[in-house]
Chains A and B, each alone.
Chain A
Amino acid sequence: MRYAETGFNLEIDLTRGNIERVATDPKDTELYLGGLGTNAKIMWDRVPPEVDAFSPENLLIFSAGLLCGTPAIGCNRTIVTTISPQTKLMHFSMMGGFWAPELKHAGFDKVILRGKSPDLVYIWINNDKVEIRDASHLKGKGSNETAQLIMKELNEPKAQVAAIGLAGENRVFFASIEQGRSSASRGGIGAVMGDKGVKAIVVRGTSDIHVAQPAEFLEQCNEVMEYIKFREDHPIPGVIPILSVLGSPQEMMIHDEKWHTENFSWGNSRTRRRDYWTDEIAAEWMETLDSARTRMVSCYNCPLKCGATLNMPGLPTYMMKCFTKLTYTMAAMSNLDFGLTIAQKATEYGVDGYSAPQVMAFALELLENGILTEADFEGMPEKSEDRFFWMLDRIVRREGIGDVLANGTHWAAKEIGHGAEEYAHNNIKKHEQLPLKLGMLNPIYFLMYCTGEKINITQIEGQFPQAPFPKREHREKFVKDWFQVPDDKFKQYFLDWEPRGENSMPYYPTVEMTCEIVDWMEKMHYIDDALGMCAGLSSFHLKAPYHIHNYPKFISFGVGIEMDEEKLTQAVKRYRTLVRANNIRRGMRRKDEKPPEDHWKKRIPELEKELLDTYYAFKGWNNEGIPTLESLKELGLGYVAEDFINRGILTDA
Chain B
Amino acid sequence: MPKKTIKTIRVDVDKCNGCRSCEVICSAFHAEPKYSSSNPARSRIRVIREPYSDMYVPVYAGEYTPAECAGRDKYTIDGKEYEECAFCRASCPSRPEFKEPDSGLPLKCDMCEGEDEPLCVKWCITDALIYEEREEEVDEEVEQEEMEIGLEALTSKYGLQQIKAVLSRMSEKE
Contacts and interface: CB of A to CB of B under 8 A. Distances in A.
A297 B51 contact: yes
A350 to B, nearest CB: 16
Given A157-B50, A309-B54, A214 B123 contact: no
A105 B125 contact: no
Interface stretch (A39-47, A68-76, A81-89): A68-76
A260 interface: no
A625 B17 CA distance: 44
Interface stretch (B27-35, B136-144, B146-154): B27-35
B37 A298 contact: no
Contacts of A207: 39, 41, 101
Given A295-B17, A298-B17, A317 B54 contact: yes
Contacts of A302: 19, 21
Interface in B116-173: 123-126
Contacts, number: 95
Nearest to A215: B35
Q: What size tier do the contact residues of chain B reach?
A: 20 to 34
A208 interface: yes
B20 interface: yes
A369 interface: no
B34 A303 contact: no
A303 B37 contact: no
A354 B25 CA distance: 36
B125 A229 contact: yes
A544 B123 CA distance: 18
B54 A294 contact: yes
Given A144-B52, A208-B31, A297 B37 contact: no
A208 B39 contact: yes
A646 interface: no
Given A225-B125, A295-B17, A206 B101 contact: yes
B40 interface: yes
A181 B50 contact: no
Interface in B49-65: 50-54, 56
Contacts of A157: 50
Given A225-B125, A319-B51, A297 B36 contact: no
Interface centre among A181, A206, A229 (most CB of B within 10 A): A206
Nearest to A316: B52
B58 to A, nearest CB: 13
Given A303-B125, A303-B126, A215 B21 contact: no
B95 to A, nearest CB: 10
A73 B50 CA distance: 22
B112 to A, nearest CB: 13
> Which are the 10 A-B pairs with shortest beta-carbon distances?
A206-B41, A214-B35, A298-B19, A208-B37, A206-B101, A298-B17, A214-B36, A208-B39, A218-B35, A210-B37
30 contacts: A98-B20, A147-B52, A148-B52, A157-B50, A206-B101, A207-B39, A208-B37, A209-B37, A209-B38, A210-B36, A210-B37, A211-B35, A211-B36, A214-B31, A215-B35, A217-B35, A218-B28, A228-B125, A295-B18, A297-B18, A298-B17, A298-B19, A299-B19, A300-B24, A301-B21, A303-B17, A303-B21, A303-B124, A305-B126, A317-B53
Interface of B: 17-21, 24-25, 28, 31, 33-42, 50-54, 56, 101, 123-126
